Structure 1
Amino acid sequence: MSSILTNNGAMVALQTLKSINNDLSKTQSQISTGKNIASAKDNASVWAISKVMESDVKGFQGISDSLALGQSTLAVAAGAAESVTDLLTDIKGKIVAAQESNVDREKIQTDIEALTSQIDSIVGAAQFNGLNLVKGTEDVDILSSMDRAANGNVSASHITINRQDLSTTVGTYGSDGDLSDRGAESSATVITGPRTADIEVTYAASENYTVSIGDKSVTVDAVDDDDVTESALAAAINNLGIEGVSARIDGNTLKVESMLDFDDVQIEVSHSGGGAITVDGSSSATVNQRAETITFNQAAKVNDGDSFRVTYGGNNYDYIAGKGETMEDVARGLKIAIDSAGLESVSTKVTQNDTGEWELNIANHGSGDVTDLAFDGKEGGTASGGLFGLKSLDVTTEFGAENALGTIETLINNSIDAAAEFGSAQGRIETQTDFVSNLTDSLKSGIGAMVDADMEEASARLQALQVQQQLGVQSLSIANQAPQTILSLFR
């Protein structure tokens, strides 16, 4: 049946043309935007995922900027630490030259002070955007990553940079807690005279007596006169030429005396025949070093601001530890504090005993025994600078030049440690920068795989749809002409 009211063919053709036009519109949108999913209506779930990932990409781009800033700041700090190390090495050369007695120590001291001023200038200027990593002890956190958990929660990660204080500040002694158990002095009295060992001899004529001191030995044959034999034994010991060790006769006792500050003296005795010989009542004895020791508790943890004090001769000598320091640093810091006072009557040395504990040795060259050697400690101070003691170097005297040599070694090691720490941190940041860059590229690639249009496919589809559109228009035109045929029935 034909009808002029309902044109089924035209309706079919129209619906087909609308579908073709809709597909053509989508294809043209893909080609113009380059995206297969340009909005939530195209595919809500994929679009939502892509937007989250795009926000992550933006975040990692910000992280890249943060890492670049941190890398620049570290480069300045590392350069400063290396320059300070070079200048300290130059100062060491001056100090070594000052060990000679026939040099102009005043001029050498002037050079050292000039180099010290240059170090101060470098440390003060080593900042980037106001952040100085070679002054102070507070850690610096550099944003390094953004971590997204499975539940969608996001947290930031950081690379922590430990500041390396290369200032010359003395620090502030704390007032909290009690750290006196972190160290113990061997004796409260530091003697000025020698340490001794008594050799007792029962002489028998025609017998011989041997005394060994360290790796040197002397043997004396006894004669009928005990005094002559004893004098001969004392003279033989003195002729060994052991620096700081001598023998003398006190009544009926042969005394071996040691003026060695930091070395023990081992003595062994023996005899042949019917006589007898002992040293301090035995066949062997040790003459201890003259110096008294402060032994530090190696198992104890050292915290930032822990303050340690040595009292000697009525004066206090302080060192305040910084973050990450050990008992070795404390021992060396207290040595520098004492050496910096310029006391020509005091010699110091840091050693490690057989059990691994660090010791500060203090020897007395004054006119009388010092009876107030003591150790104490408190919490809550402000740390001494890593170059604490640098400004106190004084090579104008022979004694000062000797002390300065030990101090400069410690300061050089501190600056080397600082430069090494910065170098390690630079490596971490470079590695993280490369990772963030690769990760950002991977995220962009993943987003593209989800939402980008396949341009080859879109181009082919566009041409096909354009042909379909033309055919649909023609089909609709033909369908619209169908009612015209009904007119022929009325002619």
Structure 2
Amino acid sequence: MSIFLRPASAVALAVLRSTQSSLNRTQQQASSGLRVAGAKDNAAYWHIATVTRSDTLALSAVRDALGMAAATVNIASTSITNAADLVSQIKSKLVAATEDGVDKVKVNEDIAQLKDQLRSVGEAASFNGDNWVVLDGNDDPNKPKEIPASLIRYSDGTISMGWLTYKGDAPPSGTITPEDAGYLIDDLASGTGGHGVLTSDAFATAVGASQNYVLLASKNGNTAGQVEISLDSTTTQGQVRDMLSVVDAMLGQLTTIGSAFGSMETRVQLQQNFAQDLSDSLTEGVGKLVDADMEEVSTRLAALQTRQQLGLQSLSIANASYDTIRQLFQNIH
């Protein structure tokens, strides 16, 4: 006598297996929150999501870099603003020195204090070891300051970086003009201080001063022939007027640099906002492709668990006949 799997039992078993498979898949979606967790779920969506997540991580690094840049540029901008205020005060002192009977030695004491503060303002404008207003050490005056600003992915799949640049450099050769002074102070040993507004004698040349006046002498540069602006009892009115013209020209260039830094501050802030919005949009786009609808998953999970219980009961009922046959054989002696 042969005992075969009854059709009712076979159907119940097949239904139970199908239910268990759907239940496992739904439980995985519920625990991970993803309906596309791997390439086997949907190869195209998984590929898009993986590439986009990678870009989102890169954008996060860009946002961090922009945060660092924002602090650096803000400090540089603040330094230039304070320096312009100090130079304006020096200008007012020189104007006072043109009056008859003014003690030029006393006026010079005030100017000396302001000049010391100018150097302090410049050298203190450093964030994380990066100073955008003072050239020193191994700085390259011909290399612009750059910060990563964006990640660009092209249609062919290649990527590139977008950069924000502050170009405060002077030409590598030729005569340095006042417009080439893109920094506050130039202490490089390789030049004459011409890259810094306060250390450049190009302003004296431009206004036709009788001497190569500078507000501050470069610490390391070749300062031969330069005269640091100061007053004493022998200073003539003509010399004071020359100093005044030089300082006024320096102040004009400082406002130009300050405007450049102010514009860059605004650009960095705009780029930070854009990078954040872009990252949010990419994350939302990936979610639409691969995230599970948790309300739907929860409802389906409850239904499948119920179906599983019913399937087990159906299989138990279908298998009850086997118990009857077994009992019959047990009664045979």
Q: Same fold (TM over 0.5)?
A: yes
Work out whether 1:392 is the aligned partner of 2:229.
Answer: yes
Give the secondary structure class of the aligned counterpart of 1:482: helix
Deviation at 1:141, TM superposition (A): 0.7
What is the match of residue 414 of structure 1? Answer: 253
Is the alpha carbon distance of 1:104 and 1:44 closer, same or farther for their aligned partners in structure 2, counting shifts above 3 Å? Answer: same
Deviation at 1:341, TM superposition (A): 4.6
What is the match of residue 144 of structure 2? Answer: 139
CA distances 1:85-132 after superposition (whole Å, capped 9, x unpaired): 010010011000011121101111222122112111111221111111
Deviation at 1:150, TM superposition (A): 1.2
Identify unmatched segments of 5+ residues in structure 1. Answer: 165-301, 310-317, 343-382
8 Å Cα contact 1:50/1:450 also seen in 2: yes
Give the secondary structure class of the aligned counterpart of 1:306: coil
8 Å Cα contact 2:212/2:227 also seen in 1: no
CA distances 1:438-467 after superposition (whole Å, capped 9, x unpaired): 001111111111111111111111121112
Bigger share in helix: 2
What is the match of residue 440 of structure 1? Answer: 279
8 Å Cα contact 1:24/1:465 also seen in 2: yes
8 Å Cα contact 2:27/2:301 also seen in 1: yes
2:167 to 153, 162, 165: 162
CA distances 1:252-298 after superposition (whole Å, capped 9, x unpaired): xxxxxxxxxxxxxxxxxxxxxxxxxxxxxxxxxxxxxxxxxxxxxxx
Work out whether 1:340 is the aligned partner of 2:186.
Answer: no
Is the alpha carbon distance of 1:151 and 1:41 closer, same or farther for their aligned partners in structure 2, counting shifts above 3 Å? Answer: same
How many residues get paired? 300
Give the secondary structure class of the aligned counterpart of 1:156: strand
Deviation at 1:389, TM superposition (A): 7.0
What is the match of residue 306 of structure 1? Answer: 174
Instruction: Give aligned-pair identity as a percent.
Output: 33
The alignment yields a C-alpha RMSD, in angstroms, of: 3.2
What is the match of residue 263 of structure 2? Answer: 424
What is the match of residue 405 of structure 1? Answer: 244
CA distances 1:335-387 after superposition (whole Å, capped 9, x unpaired): 46843358xxxxxxxxxxxxxxxxxxxxxxxxxxxxxxxxxxxxxxxx999xx
- Aligned counterparts of 1:308 and 1:133: Cα–Cα separation in 2: 20
Matches within 5 A, 1:314-329: none
Matches within 5 A, 1:109-128: 109-128=108-127
- Aligned counterparts of 1:337 and 1:122: Cα–Cα separation in 2: 29
What is the match of residue 477 of structure 1? Answer: 316
Is the alpha carbon distance of 1:96 and 1:464 closer, same or farther for their aligned partners in structure 2, counting shifts above 3 Å? Answer: same
8 Å Cα contact 1:306/1:321 also seen in 2: no
Is the alpha carbon distance of 1:107 and 1:392 closer, same or farther for their aligned partners in structure 2, counting shifts above 3 Å? Answer: same
CA distances 1:59-81 after superposition (whole Å, capped 9, x unpaired): 11100000000000011101110
8 Å Cα contact 1:321/1:384 also seen in 2: no
Is the alpha carbon distance of 1:331 and 1:466 closer, same or farther for their aligned partners in structure 2, counting shifts above 3 Å? Answer: closer
Give the secondary structure class of the aligned counterpart of 1:38: coil
What is the match of residue 359 of structure 1? Answer: none
- Aligned counterparts of 1:38 and 1:306: Cα–Cα separation in 2: 62
Deviation at 1:307, TM superposition (A): 2.1
What is the match of residue 38 of structure 2? Answer: 39
Bigger share in strand: 1
CA distances 1:4-30 after superposition (whole Å, capped 9, x unpaired): 123232222111101101111111111
- Aligned-partner residue type, residue 151 of structure 2: M
Matches within 5 A, 1:179-328: 303-307=171-175
- Aligned counterparts of 1:19 and 1:54: Cα–Cα separation in 2: 33
TM-score (norm 2): 0.80
TM-score (norm 1): 0.56
- Aligned-partner residue type, residue 155 of structure 2: A
The structure that has the greater radius of gyration is 1
- Aligned counterparts of 1:113 and 1:103: Cα–Cα separation in 2: 17
Is the alpha carbon distance of 1:384 and 1:426 closer, same or farther for their aligned partners in structure 2, counting shifts above 3 Å? Answer: farther
8 Å Cα contact 2:203/2:250 also seen in 1: no
- Aligned-partner residue type, residue 267 of structure 2: R
Further displaced range: 152-161 or 389-398: 389-398
- Aligned counterparts of 2:222 and 2:275: Cα–Cα separation in 1: 38
CA distances 1:13-56 after superposition (whole Å, capped 9, x unpaired): 11110110111111111111111122222222211211111111
CA distances 1:404-447 after superposition (whole Å, capped 9, x unpaired): 11111101111111111100100110000000000011111111
- Aligned counterparts of 1:143 and 1:341: Cα–Cα separation in 2: 40
Matches within 5 A, 1:45-56: 45-56=44-55
Identify unmatched segments of 5+ residues in structure 2. Answer: 136-140, 178-190, 214-220
- Aligned counterparts of 1:68 and 1:384: Cα–Cα separation in 2: 37
